[in-house]
Amino acid sequence: MERWFDMVFDLKRIPVKLVLVFWICAIMLLVLPESTLSYLKLNDFLILYGKYIGITFIFCSALLFAAILTSIIRAIKNRIRKNKIEHSIMENLNRLDSFEKAILREFCLQNKNTISMPSNNSTVVGLENKGIIYQASDLGFANSLGSFFPY
């Protein structure tokens, strides 16, 4: 029973644009003057189905309110998560030692997104373990100084 309820009232599956169209139509039928309704030949329709139009208006209003509230809550959560991530990144950057800062400075000085660096360097490994840099490719080269990979 609970699963059926979740399937019917899952706001992610209800097309909000369609609900908005029904809501606008219900408002128009409820608010338009009688002269306009008679011009559109909707007087008989409103007499026969007026109570359903009112229910439709209330139901669509509730769905739209829930959708708006859900999107506001989601936006607030995303903003909080983004601020936490930015704060965490700034904390990690402030804790870097001078060798780690020197490696990161090379990215700015060379104006590149990828730089070949020795994979056995402890500072490079430390930055990689902190998640600040990552090995961009498994294809590198080796010389007398060691193995170099793009980071």
CA 59 remoteness from chain centre: 27
Q: What is the pLDDT of residues 84-130, one digit of tens each?
A: 988 988 888 888 888 999 988 988 899 988 888 888 888 988 888 88
Q: How far apart are CA 96 and CA 60, in angstroms?
A: 54
pTM: predicted TM-score of the whole model, two decimal places: 0.59
pLDDT in tens, 42-86: 888 888 888 899 999 999 999 899 888 988 999 999 999 999 988
